[in-house]
Structure 1
């Protein structure tokens, strides 16, 4: 029973963080959260680890779990830069053409995500991890296919902003993620057709829409948080 309880707590904790019920920099302690949720410490520990993987929490051996601060201005600026960088990568990949291996990886990523999202039920931890993994494969393969050694390190700078990459969403809504996977299909088709300008436009639009969705899910944190401090 531990895993289902941990998944429910993970979703609840994620919603509370994104709703601003815990402020940036606040320590989240297992004992206090277990009391708050009326649960044992083991599922709470798993829920904290899941939200750290999503980028909402930071962990260090000395400090434990801390809520990552989110600055809407930083997120907006970072997504603007990511849209430009990944749009350039998509255009260059289209101009160069995809290798058979790159095309296989992209197709597999899109198809796997489609199978994972063939439901309107809430995604469990395994499904969320599969989406994160294959979403990253799609974007990384296009960046590698651009064959420009400056793109990846520049993008890494942008990705230091929490929630920019990998994406953090208020909920792993299958309908929303299906929309993103449809974007991926359109980008892939333009790259295969060697339509560089169109591929760049679609990638920029895709990243921009994801950024708007993420910013819409965030709320300012209150000055005082609850019992987890």
Structure 2
């Protein structure tokens, strides 16, 4: 097939009234982009004019490298081994936006918390602004995690910090209709009262999230409007 014939075929899948063909288009296009970034990272940087080295040097200029102040514990190396910590007050699963704020808040209140995270902690000096390394090391499933119906790829963090490490430009509060569905379908009463609003506001404050001076991209507008 010629290039134009291939483009025409993909366009027919994209615009097809059949759900299966539209899903096939999303799957093929997403896998193509992921493969291109992974296997042709230098070509990708050149094609997009992405100044990785320059951005890295600019981002770290004048900043303290690796100022992390918490203690890390290595997991037991033997299957079935136990990690016994008698002086821990709270065990927190995960280290993303929710868990991280919980751990920080409890620590400030004097509690000793243990955060369990399946992903690796990457120090500042290990972040090299390389797309291939970033996708492989920082994302769940190497950036290929998808919903069960394959309609949407989910860029979920799999590292210490979770989504806060990979997603830095958008922080959206849970829409009312989603919270209503949680309440109506799953009986999550917390999602339907003011305590949920206060919890969201607190997390935003701790993370430094703000809606001031922000112009949302088209993708974010679609998410906000539903």
Range into which the TM-score falls when normalised by the shorter chain: under 0.3
Q: TM-score with structure 2 length normalisation?
A: 0.23
Task: Tell me which structure has the larger Cα radius of gyration.
Answer: 2
> Highest relative contact order (Cα 8 Å, sep 6+), 1 or 2?
1
> Could you state the TM-score of these two structures normalised by the residue count of structure 1?
0.23
Greater helix content: 1
